[in-house]
Structure 1
C-alpha cells in the first residue's frame, strides 16, 4: 500500500512540475525563418534571412540576435524581449519603435510562430514569422502558420518564403 501511495504521489508531483514549464521556456536556440508575412512596403521586406539565435535570460526575458548585410556591410541586431504578465507575450523597445511580440507554439515540435505588432520606423506594422530548427520543410507547421496568419488578418498572398542567408560577422565588409 505504501508503494502504491508513493507511486501516485510521485506521478502527481511530476505532472505538476511539467505543467510549471512555460512553452516559451523551451523556446531557445538557433532557428531558421521558414516563412514571413508582413504588412510593410516591398522596400522594407527582407528578401533573405539569416538564422535567429534566441536565448532565455535568467529574468524571463528573451534575447534575439540575427545578422544581415546592408550596402555590403554586415549588421547585427540584438533585441531584448521583455516578459509581460502573459507568458507568451513580450514587449520590445528599439530605435525603430515599441512593439509587442507574441511567441506561439505550433503543433510541431521546435516550430514556433513569432508575431510582432507595433511601431516600425514611425508606422504601424505587423509581421508573423514561422521559425524552425532547420531548413527542412514541414507541411504541418506551415498549415498551422497559415491558419494563424489568416486569423491575424493577413491574406495568404502576403506569405513569403525567404532565401536562407548565412550569418555574417559584423567585422566582415
Structure 2
C-alpha cells in the first residue's frame, strides 16, 4: 500500500500557488484551498492497491513559498491520510518533494479551474513520470479529461493508463 501512496503523492506534491513558465495562458492562480484530484496516470504500471476513493485536497501556503498538501485516500477498504510538503525550487512554478527526489510542475489546462500536476522522479529505484488532473469542483469534466490525456501523451504517458477517481468527503466509517 505504501508503494501506491508514494506513487500517488508524486502528483499531490504539486498543487500550489506557483507559476509555471510552460503555462501558455498567463499566470497560475493562487492554488491555496480546496481541490479535487479527478484523474491520474503514469508511464509505468504502479504496483500496490487500487485507489477506490479520494477526499478533497487541502493546500496551504507555507513560509518561503513552500506548500503543504493534505489528502485522504481509500484503497482496498483502508483509509490512508497523507501530508506532503513541497519545497520551492530555484525556478518559478517548480518544486521538489521527498528530500529532492521528486520534481513537480504545474500545467494550466485549457479548461477553466483545472490543472495538470506533472511529476517525475524515482520510486523504489525506478524512474517514473506521473500526471494528475485537479479541479476546483468535484464533478468530472469530459473536456478537462480529454485535455489531460493530451497533456500526458505529449510527455510520453499513454492515455490508456488513465484512472478516473471517485470523490468522497470523508473517510467512510469502518475504513480507518
Q: Give TM-score scaled by structure 1 length.
A: 0.73
Structure 2 gaps of 5+ residues are 1-17, 20-26
Over 3 Å counting, the alpha-carbon distance change for 1:42 and 1:121 in structure 2 is closer
Q: How many residues align structurally?
A: 150
Partner of 1:30: 34
Over 3 Å counting, the alpha-carbon distance change for 1:149 and 1:71 in structure 2 is closer
| Structure that is richer in helix per residue | 1
Over 3 Å counting, the alpha-carbon distance change for 1:110 and 1:165 in structure 2 is same
Larger Rg: 1
On the 8 A contact 2:49/2:76 being kept in 1, the answer is no
Query: 1:69: how far off?
Result: 4.0
Q: Give TM-score scaled by structure 2 length.
A: 0.72
The secondary structure found in structure 2 opposite 1:54 is strand
- Residues 21-51 of structure 1: per-residue CA shift (max 9 Å, x gap): 9445511211111111122335355343222
The secondary structure found in structure 2 opposite 1:81 is strand
On the 8 A contact 1:53/1:65 being kept in 2, the answer is yes
Matching of residue 43 in structure 1 with residue 54 in structure 2: no
Structure 1 gaps of 5+ residues are 1-20
